[in-house]
Structure 1
Amino acid sequence: MSHITLPPTASRGLPLHVKVLIGFVFGAVVGLLAHVHGADTPLVQGAIQYVARPAGQVFLNLLFMLVLPLMFSALVLGVAELGDIASLGRLGWRTLTYTAVVTGAAVGIGLLMVNLIQPGLHMDPALVQQAMSSNADKINGIVASGEQLNALDLLVNIVPHNVLAAGVDDKQKLGIVFFALMIGIGLVLTPSPATQAFKHALQGLFEISMRLIGLFIRLAPYAVACFMFALCAQLGWDVLAGLVYFVVTVLLALAIHMFVVLPLWVKVMGGMSPRAFFRGSQEATLTAFATASSTATLPVTLRVAEENLRLPRKVSRFVLTVGASANHHGTALFEGVTVLFLAQVFGLHLPVTQQLMVLGLCILGGIGTAGIPSGSLPVIAMICGIIGLNPAGIGIILGVNSFLDMCRTSLNVTGDLATAVVVSARSGEVDEAELPVTESAL
């Protein structure tokens, strides 16, 4: 199958990632100024409700609109291009093993940071009660969703009883992944003119989706400005100041995994310069930060992997499509930090054995978490219930969750790309000519 050259997403002038950064700074500054002016004034509320939120949601909807056709076509083609079931098995096991190892490392870093900093011991009891009471309605919905989750259901729902229902339910996206895997296997096992025609049709669907994404992504700088304006205008610095130890703990753990573990992972296991990796991944990382959704970022992630990192299509499509639904390093890390933080807030001492259980639950929870904004909150409520914590305590962190969601989603997507680099290298699918120009390691 001939490789197509997709159009560049950035127009002439400044690169897209620079425009996104400008939009980020502009939206944040204007939002903070609006918060100082008065977050509850009609002007600020009108700007948030009638301009910023609708504009940002339209951008998200444009991306979500293409996620299902892109996810399905990319994964089916990725499996079909492997050529045989044995190759699929080897690729699947490598992806699963590497995902579990690096996700475990991420959660371990998070738990270590919580035990060292102990952010829960610095919480003002009055702030705890205020946060829980002011978010009572949201808490009830999150807790109800968490009560519906359990490990057995997560495994059973991987095999969808209704593909159409799985396609419209973000919690059942793994069902679409499984269905696409089965269709891909069917294509491999049934070589015929009809299946070849179907494969060509899927390739056309994939190319159309990627072309449209190239057009939509040009709106990213404006969407980022809208997201940051709404976030900063509502929160300001007050909420961050009250939860500063928790925020610092999460950001420090995310930064260690992002800028220490992943570069070593890419360099040692993937044979790629960390500098080249981060330079090639930056567009997907910034888009993930803006959208707070690894699923919505998937179209950009796939294009970055093929065009910037020059990874083989049959590997990148498989690893990244599965990763958008099941490989959430940052989410698993955040879940572990939040559970131990809440345990500290409420005076519940968790011995090492229970912390190891939390680590395992977070690895599984990272797989079962929906790749949508705040998709990790029901999983955190479920884990709290398992270890004997009141799930309603999750209301404490809702004020800063939006910002931290953006940060951990950036790690999710960057981790997906790092895993794709490693799987490509360890599968023997990448040679020196295919890799980006290697620079000195960081």
Structure 2
Amino acid sequence: MKNHYKLLLGLVFGIVLGSLAHPYQELPWMKHLTDIVMVPVGQIFLRLLFMIVVPMVFSALVLGVYDLARHQGVGKVASRTLFYTVIASTCSVLIGIGMVNFFRPGDGFKVDPHVFETTKSSMDTITANANASKTFGQAIVEIIPKNPLEAAVKALEGEMLALMFCALFFGFAFYVYQKASKKELLIMPILEEIFNGSLVIVEMAMKIAPYAVFAIVFNTASKFGLEIFESLLYFAAVVVGGLLIQQIIVYGLLLKFVAKRSPRDFFSNSKEVLLYAFSTSSSNATLPKAIEVAETKLGLTPSISRFVLTVGATANQNGTALFEGVVVLFLAQVFGVDLSIGQQVQVVVMCIVAGIGTAGVPGGSLPIIMIIMKGVGIPPEGIALILGVDRFLDMCRTTLNVSGDLVIAALVDDKSEISDLEPVHEIIK
């Protein structure tokens, strides 16, 4: 059986069996099953992937920028990546806000005051993260790391942009040095081997992926059950509907008319990555597999796909941007805050900007949403209302984020660019 079918079976069985086990979650045998088997299996798999994110991001970006600069393509690729990212993010936010204004899921929503008590610990964490946010000027300055090693250590805790900046700068600096010295740099083969070794670890991890996906989804379903969706079904339907419109219509049109590719074939060849993104809720954890699929199944140029996908894992969060816009307007409706057209435009801009740099880990968008809510006068504690369905919606928006990264890589890809990087499928063979 092909691996993507195994992943799908793991996903389905995890949802079904986890939901059936939900009534028994407090029983001793159930706790032992979760603590001794399910949690370790899922965590081992995720840790294998998170383990290689830092070396893969650094080596992929340095190699990608170095290779593109040697062929005078880095400026072109970076500008096209930014252009398509802004276009796609703008479309996603406008779709989300348009759907909230049309369907108005927050009207008549009954606020349960106890929800704020039962989610106090989660709220405390999110509030602390939001309060720790930096001003725009500080955020720009701190993209440049004082200590690259510290940025690498904290990369999965929100410092990924600093690490990426360091890699981008080193890649360009190596090109400048190589051009001036007229000699091949010894460090480039080393970085290629680090990247290649990371891919081998990905292949090893994928052997246990179906079982890990089952364990992760089983844990979620057994903990929360299906009833968490009942009170927020309308809100969740609006979010999922917006994500589907972005995925099918916006991405489909861009692929067909700009990239000149068949959307059906493109998404069919990407299905393993999308299932993987849905299961893990993490763009960072999905990055290694996305790079492999981009080169082996989608036929993208290695230097371009590695550059765009690595940057996109942090800087292209279309699904997150859409979700943030929907949540802010939904909670405005819940609390009776009437946002003017100007304030809604402010929300659109803030969501587009916030989508760049949102942590590519589960729940990474929640502090950002609180910051946006504060900016337009919505009670930030209202975010507790959507915590019950956030895990499921996080899975959905992460899938769109990863899909968007692949689509933008296809839009940016120019087959006239010559790459001397070894394709992934040759490495794996």
Cα deviation, 1:409-433, whole Å, max 9, x if unaligned, reads 01000000000000014x7449xxx
What are the residue-to-residue correspondences of 1:175-254 with 2, within 5 Å?
175-191=162-178, 192=181, 196-254=185-243
Identity of aligned residues (%): 42
Q: Quickly say closer, same or farther: Cα 1:206–1:160, change in 2 above 3 A.
A: same
Among 129, 144, 160, the residue aligned to 1:159? 144
2:338 counterpart SS class: coil
Alpha-carbon separation, structure 1, partners of 2:114 and 2:121 = 13
Aligned residue in 2 for 1:135? 119
Amino acid at match of 1:156: V
Other-structure match for 1:27: 14
The one-letter amino acid paired with 1:268 is F
Give how far 1:43 is off: 2.7
Write out per-residue CA displacement over residues 338-370 of structure 1, whole angstroms, 9 at most, x where no aligned residue. Answer: 111111111101111111111111111111211
Counterpart position of 1:272: 261
Aligned residue number for residue 145 of structure 1? 129
Does the alignment pair 1:382 with 2:371?
yes
| Cα drift, residue 58 of structure 1 | 1.3
Deviation at 1:27, TM superposition (A): 0.9
**Structure 1: how far apart are the matches of 2:107 and 2:44?**
41
Q: Deviations over 1:29-76 (max 9, x none)?
A: 1111112x4333233333233322222111111000000011111111
Once the two structures are superposed, what CA deviation does each residue of 1:305-363 show, in whole Å capped at 9, x if it has no partner?
A: 11010100111111011001111110111111111111111110111111111111111
Which residue matches 2:78? 92
Instruction: Note the alpha carbon deviations across 1:209-263, whole angstroms, 9 max, x for none.
Output: 1111111112111111111111111221221001111111111111111111111
Task: State the number of aligned residues.
Answer: 413
Distance in structure 2 (CA, Å) of the matches to 1:131 and 1:155: 36
Q: Within 2, Cα distance between the matches of 1:177 and 1:292?
A: 21
**TM-score for the superposition, normalised by structure 1:** 0.90
Among residues 61, 69, 72, which one is paired with 1:83 in the alignment?
A: 69
Give a deviation string over 1:77-133, Cα, whole Å, max 9, x none.
11111134852112111111110110110011110111111111242223xx23221
Distance in 2 (alpha carbons) for counterparts of 1:52 and 1:340: 37
1:412 aligns with 2:412: no
Kindly provide the amino acid, as one letter, of the partner of residue 8 in structure 2. Answer: L
1:57 corresponds to which residue?
43
1:400 Cα deviation after fit: 0.9
Counterpart CA distance in 2 for 1:200 and 1:56 is 34
Is 1:18 the counterpart of 2:5? The answer is yes
Does residue 257 (structure 1) correspond to residue 246 (structure 2)? The answer is: yes
Query: Match of 1:366?
Result: 355
Please give the TM-score of this superposition, normalised by the length of structure 2.
Answer: 0.93
Native 8 Å contact 1:320 1:420 kept in 2: yes
Instruction: Determine if contact 1:103/1:332 at 8 Å carries over to the other structure.
Output: yes
Q: Which residue of the partner structure matches residue 27 of structure 2?
A: 41
**Alignment check: 8 A CA contact 1:187 1:195 kept:** no
Change (3 A) 1:39 1:116: farther
Contact 2:48 2:201 in 1 (8 A): no
Q: What displacement does 1:385 show?
A: 1.2
Counterpart secondary structure, 2:34: helix
Cα RMSD (Å) of the superposition?
1.6
Distance 1:26 1:381, change over 3 A: same
Aligned partners of 2:71 and 2:417 also within 8 Å = no
